[in-house]
C-alpha cells in the first residue's frame, strides 16, 4: 500500500527522471539534503543524467562533484551525516562500492550502535547494477552483501513510481540506506509518476499481478522478465507476482499471504542463487508454511559465475528461464520428486 500525500498531477517518467525528480524535491524540502558523487554537477549532471540541472538549481555547495574517490565519497557522506546533514552519495556502478566497503560496513552501518545511539549516520548510497556489455566488473548484483550487514537498509525498486517514492522515503529515513538501481531499466522503463511529494514506505512489498497457481517473488530488474513470464503462461498457469521493493526491511507477510493460497513459490533474482536473498525468503516461507506447501519453495537466481560478457551466455534469469523454472516446479509437484532425480 502506498500513500500519495500531495500529488495530483502525474507525468510520464523514466526511472532516471523519477530519481532526478525525487532528488529535486528532497533538496527543496530540506536544506540538510546534499548530494555527493563523481560528475554529478552540471553540465554533465551525472553519468546517467540523474542529477541533471540540480547543481544549477540548488547550488554547487549542495550538489557537489567529487574526485574519483569512492571510499572518501562515502566517508565524507558519513561525516556530513554525523554533522547533521542528510547526504545522498552517488556511486555510479555498484561494483565500485567495493572501494567503499570500509566506510559503508564499518562506519555507516555501525555508527549508531557503536556509539550507543548517539551518532547515527543516515546516508543514502545510490548505485546501479550495470550491463554485461561492460563485463564482469560493471554488472554485479551485490545486494546480498548489504543484506548481511546489520544497520543497513536495502532498497531495490523496479519502476519509476516506486523509485521516486522509495528514494524520498530513504532520504528522510534515519537509517543508512543502500539504494540499488539498474542501468538496463534507467531509460527503458517508463510510467506515470506524480510530480509532487509522495512516499513509498520501506518494507512494503507490492502484489503486481494476482494469480492462483504459483507465486513469483522478485524485485529490481527481474520483476520485468517475471511479469513477462507470467503473461506468457496466462491460460495455462496462473502466476502471482510480488515485487519486494525493499530487502531490508523485508515484507515476508505479503509473501506468506500469497503463498499460503498458491502453495507454490519461486524467488527470482539477479544475484547468485547460492547464498542469495532467495535463500532467506525461501527459509522464512518454509518456516511459516511447512506442511501446507505442495512443493518446497524454489529459487531461481544467477549462476555462480562472474557475469559473462557474451550476450549469448545468460547468468541472470530471463523470461525463458523463469518459464522453465515454473514448469520444472509444476513437474516436481506432479511427480513429487526433485527434478534432478526424475
User: Closest approach of Cβ 34 to other proteins, in Å?
Assistant: 7
User: For residue 100, what are the β-bridge partners?
Assistant: none
Catalytic, 138? Answer yes
Between CA 23 and CA 7 the distance in angstroms is 16
Nearest 5°: the CA angle 135, 139, 143 is: 155
Between CA 63 and CA 88 the distance in angstroms is 9
**Residue 58 within binding range of other proteins, rule CB under 8 A:** no
Q: CB under 8 A: which stretch of 1-9, 78-86, 127-135, 229-237 binds other proteins? A: 78-86
User: Closest approach of Cβ 28 to other proteins, in Å?
Assistant: 16
x/- letters, 279..318, toward other proteins (CB under 8 A): ----------------------------------------
| CA 333 to each of CA 48, 252, 265, 278, 326: distance values in angstroms, whole numbers, following the listed order | 45, 23, 11, 20, 11
Size of the site for other proteins (CB under 8 A): 48
x/- letters, 130..159, toward other proteins (CB under 8 A): --------------------xx-x------
CB 217 within 8 A of CB 267: yes
Residues 163-182 that bind other proteins (CB under 8 A): 173-175
**Residue 76 within binding range of other proteins, rule CB under 8 A:** yes
Catalytic residue among 58, 107, 118, 138: 138
Q: Which of 37, 48, 90, 112 binds other proteins (CB under 8 A)?
A: 112
CB 213 within 8 A of CB 239: yes
**Site of interaction with other proteins (CB under 8 A):** 34, 61-62, 66-67, 69, 71-72, 74-85, 87, 102-103, 106-107, 111-120, 122, 150-151, 153, 173-175, 202-203, 248-251
Amino acid at each position: 500500500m502506498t500513500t500519495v500525500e500531495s500529488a495530483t498531477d502525474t507525468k510520464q517518467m523514466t526511472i532516471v527522471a523519477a530519481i532526478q525528480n525525487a532528488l529535486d524535491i528532497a533538496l527543496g524540502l530540506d536544506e540538510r539534503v546534499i548530494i555527493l558523487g563523481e560528475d554529478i554537477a552540471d553540465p554533465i549532471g551525472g553519468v546517467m543524467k540523474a542529477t541533471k540541472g540540480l547543481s544549477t538549481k540548488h547550488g554547487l555547495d549542495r550538489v557537489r562533484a567529487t574526485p574519483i574517490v569512492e571510499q572518501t565519497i562515502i566517508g565524507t557522506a558519513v561525516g556530513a551525516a554525523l554533522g547533521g546533514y542528510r547526504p545522498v552519495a552517488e556511486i555510479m556502478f555498484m561494483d565500485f562500492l567495493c572501494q567503499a566497503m570500509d566506510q559503508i560496513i564499518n562506519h555507516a552501518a555501525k555508527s549508531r550502535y557503536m556509539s550507543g545511539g548517539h551518532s547515527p549516520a543516515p546516508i543514502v548510497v545510490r548505485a546501479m547494477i550495470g550491463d554485461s556489455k561492460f563485463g564482469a566488473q560493471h554488472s554485479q548484483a551485490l545486494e546480498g552483501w548489504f543484506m548481511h550487514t546489520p544497520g543497513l537498509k536495502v532498497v531495490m525498486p523496479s519502476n519509476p513510481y516506486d523509485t521516486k517514492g522509495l528514494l524520498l522515503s530513504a532520504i528522510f529515513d534515519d537509517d543508512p540506506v543502500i539504494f540499488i538501481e539498474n542501468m538496463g531499466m534507467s531509460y527503458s522503463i517508463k510510467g506515470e509518476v506524480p510530480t509532487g511529494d509522495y512516499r513509498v514506505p520501506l518494507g512494503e512489498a507490492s502484489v503486481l499481478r494476482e494469480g492462483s497457481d504459483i507465486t513469483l517473488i522478485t524485485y529490481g530488474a527481474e520483476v520485468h522478465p517475471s511479469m513477462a513470464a507470467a503473461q506468457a503462461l496466462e491460460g495455462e498457469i496462473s502466476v502471482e507476482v510480488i515485487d519486494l521493493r525493499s530487502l531490508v526491511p523485508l515484507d515476508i507477510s505479503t509473501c506468506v499471504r500469497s503463498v499460503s493460497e498458491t502453495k507454490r513459490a519461486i524467488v527470482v533474482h539477479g544475484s547468485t542463487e547460492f547464498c542469495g536473498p532467495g535463500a532467506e525468503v525461501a527459509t522464512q516461507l518454509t518456516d511459516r508454511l511447512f506442511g501446507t506447501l505442495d512443493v518446497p519453495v524454489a529459487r531461481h537466481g544467477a549462476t555462480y559465475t562472474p557475469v559473462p560478457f557474451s550476450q549469448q551466455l545468460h547468468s541472470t534469469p530471463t523470461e525463458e528461464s523463469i518459464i522453465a523454472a515454473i514448469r520444472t516446479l509444476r513437474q516436481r509437484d506432479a511427480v513429487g520428486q526433485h527434478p534432478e532425480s526424475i
